[in-house]
Structure 1
């Protein structure tokens, strides 16, 4: 488990996402004050109205810090490998078809019923569970993500900040907090702005109409190139416009931060009409993810009752989705026998997905059939080698079965391919701990913390590794070398903070 920390940002309300965003954006002042090599131009003197440029490297650094804060401290962050796999697979398909196919992007989900999605510095894109549950097809969801991807590829957030020429670092931070806060919660964003006395910023919370039209245009091209239904974007945003009329002054958050106009909707519909019609096959995983979220958003019993009704009345968008939801709800309710029955019915549909395989393995394990679970994982990983959810599930199953040597071999092979996966290092640390290899345990845990942006705890773990009293000369030397690297990074961070202060 990663360490937690607390803190506040003077002048801003103590609301989790705002507190995190504010704390992370204080890093902008530090980075701008000290990382001159990362900027196209030096930071202007306070009061200078010249433009402040953020390089791609600095944008990524800022976005990464915000993302790390969110996943470490924000309770609404969805830490579900199946859901994360899905949005990143979908997002990756869109990025490959975007104007910057080589760009670095990370997609994540926030547990919130409101309809919203937001793009942060450096290609970090969040989407609310409400958006996933409201979209009626994967093409509609793809339209939303393609729009947000285009905000990133066209550097809209940085361009907006530069356009305002906010030379005061404090004002720039307040503006950035407000802009991102609006993507999450309009009311909280307004409070943040008022408390920061950033009067003129409120008018700039929403992306400009020019930026919105540009994101529409590039986003549309992206989703078409990626093979999605051309009508998806217009259908989703059209429904949002109708919702705005119903809600009047209480419009969905997405409409407040991404203002819709009749002209924009008309443009989307016109573009779709000019594209030859193409039948787009439905996405099984889209329905599975929605079913999984519905179970997580309420009680297992209520979810099981709803999916049972859908199947009984044959009123469902996807039978596999409803059967998956019922099986998952029953497993969550610890009714393993009933869950296994529904998993068998699901498998009888002859549909294939890493999510179905993972649920089948979990159900077998819950019923005491660990060997059966391991066999399912092995077979599924042959078909879906990129699935992080299956990899974590298999490693956990090996640990539960005390097959520690096999677990280490598997994790080593995975880390050769996914060296930036902090969860793999965490599982490796658990395995070494079970084997009593303390040096290796602390070394692996250090890498997990480091990838989460927790440099201090990572250094502490390496110090524990030095003091462990086990490990050979080669392993000790590796720990010493890595500790020197991290301490050097600590000194650089301290220097940045001092210069930025």
Structure 2
């Protein structure tokens, strides 16, 4: 299970501690749709910083709805259009476009309250029962249209090429009826009321969609296709805002700060550096601007300029793990693996549960290729896997570390773990069988390899 950020009271005390980790683009293979020569690129993004910001946004809503937040997974879809949806039970998919275009956290919180209404209303089960038990990869394949969504377990560097996907397929997979939409609005408003939050953000989002629908029609934003907007829905929300005792409750300053920081990170990583520098001027003193500009300089391999922005921020807030993590990214991209390792270690010392930072730390240790560091890399990767066992990239890195240590049975076992996670069942069978021939019979890795072999054979047979 993925470890979360800890007690919310501790998080809310500091906006910087809402956030963590490098953006990792997950490639989704090309799918050519009938009647189209090409398809729009669709990718997932892993970012602990943003994921945990979203968790803080949703925690009061989930508590009001009686949902255990630890059971929820957050997925970020790299797409500039407004959208968010729930699939496969407790999996929330949010477009980066929604996060980037939302001017206040209350707008995102309102949308997520509405989506929570779909969960508690049982709408997902009525639409497609099969999604309830679907794997994340299967949901990505169905909803995002990727032909090889198993790649979702293989994070690559932010600079990696993004392969094509398809247009969002919610029309056929996650299309809600008008009755369901009204029910979700009512539930979302109730959850906001119970958690003493304003619904003005949700109303503002609805009016934004209404304005875009009037200009572009419902084809512009997939949210409109899967969530039909009606005048009755807007009137209901206007009435709720007019009568709620919490409509004028302001958004907490720490959430506003976290939202601005999220904007800076997304804009810095996803936009062209030239656009970033146009958006954020050098004399802009905001944290959002500094964050975005430091990332843009990193993307241009201007290490000195990136560090000139980042190092003073670290001096001001030395306990901010995410600044240390970004410093590690900058130095690693510059080929300074040993210096990067020190920064990643500083980040992990502050938030030891951050699996993706541990993976970055382990990768630098593997790159340095020294026996003591390889041993440390194995420890870090095992710890990362303990927190996030579904990240196949961690198993790949563990296999590399074991390979350099000439532990061939463990290499086969780690690669078998990667294969079963990415849906390559034939390879999983072959590698787990090989691992059992080399590993001591009855050892934990031998037993796990046996489990993988049995599981892969069963799934492969069911698919035939």
Q: TM-score, normalised by structure 1?
A: 0.68
Cα offset, 1:209, TM superposition: 1.9
For this pair of structures, how many residues does the alignment match? 402
Q: Specify the alignment match of 2:396 in structure 1.
A: 426
Cα offset, 1:114, TM superposition: 1.6
Q: Specify the alignment match of 1:330 in structure 2.
A: 297
Q: Specify the alignment match of 2:18 in structure 1.
A: none
Q: Could you tell me which of 412, 422, 431 is aligned with 1:442? A: 412
Q: Specify the alignment match of 2:150 in structure 1.
A: none
Cα offset, 1:326, TM superposition: 0.2
User: C-alpha separation between the residues in 2 aligned to 1:260 and 1:5?
Assistant: 30
User: C-alpha separation between the residues in 2 aligned to 1:271 and 1:99?
Assistant: 22
Q: Specify the alignment match of 1:278 in structure 2.
A: 249
**1:390-469 map, 5 Å:** 390-402=357-369, 403-466=373-436
**1:42-441 map, 5 Å:** 76-82=42-48, 85-86=51-52, 89-90=55-56, 93=59, 94-101=61-68, 104-160=71-127, 180=143, 206-223=175-192, 229-248=198-217, 250-273=219-242, 274-276=244-246, 277-279=248-250, 280-283=252-255, 284-307=257-280, 309=281, 311-312=282-283, 314=284, 319-347=286-314, 350=317, 353-366=320-333, 370-402=337-369, 403-441=373-411
Q: CA RMSD for the aligned pairs?
A: 3.9
The unaligned stretches of length 5 or more in structure 1 are: 19-73, 163-175, 194-203
Contact preservation (8 Å) 1:146, 1:222: yes
Per residue, is there more helix in 1 or in 2? Answer: 1
Cα offset, 1:102, TM superposition: 6.3
Cα offset, 1:497, TM superposition: 4.3
Contact preservation (8 Å) 1:320, 1:349: no
User: C-alpha separation between the residues in 1 aligned to 2:195 and 2:367?
Assistant: 40
Change (3 A) 1:351 1:208: farther
Change (3 A) 1:75 1:422: farther
User: C-alpha separation between the residues in 1 aligned to 2:168 and 2:332?
Assistant: 45
User: C-alpha separation between the residues in 1 aligned to 2:424 and 2:245?
Assistant: 48
Q: Could you tell me which of 477, 482, 489 is aligned with 2:455? A: 489
Q: Specify the alignment match of 1:69 in structure 2.
A: none
Farther-moved stretch of structure 1 (347-356 vs 330-339)? 347-356
The unaligned stretches of length 5 or more in structure 2 are: 1-26, 130-138, 146-164
Q: Specify the alignment match of 1:70 in structure 2.
A: none
User: C-alpha separation between the residues in 2 aligned to 1:326 and 1:479?
Assistant: 45
User: C-alpha separation between the residues in 2 aligned to 1:401 and 1:410?
Assistant: 15
Large movers: runs of 4+ above 6 Å: 4-9, 14-18, 184-190
Change (3 A) 1:392 1:97: farther
Contact preservation (8 Å) 1:295, 1:329: yes
SS in 2 for 1:100: coil
Contact preservation (8 Å) 2:429, 2:457: no
SS in 2 for 1:122: coil
Q: Specify the alignment match of 1:37 in structure 2.
A: none
Cα offset, 1:494, TM superposition: 5.0
Change (3 A) 1:102 1:188: closer
Contact preservation (8 Å) 1:354, 1:390: no
Q: Deviations over 1:240-274 (max 9, x none)?
A: 11222232465532122212223222322333341
Cα offset, 1:354, TM superposition: 4.1
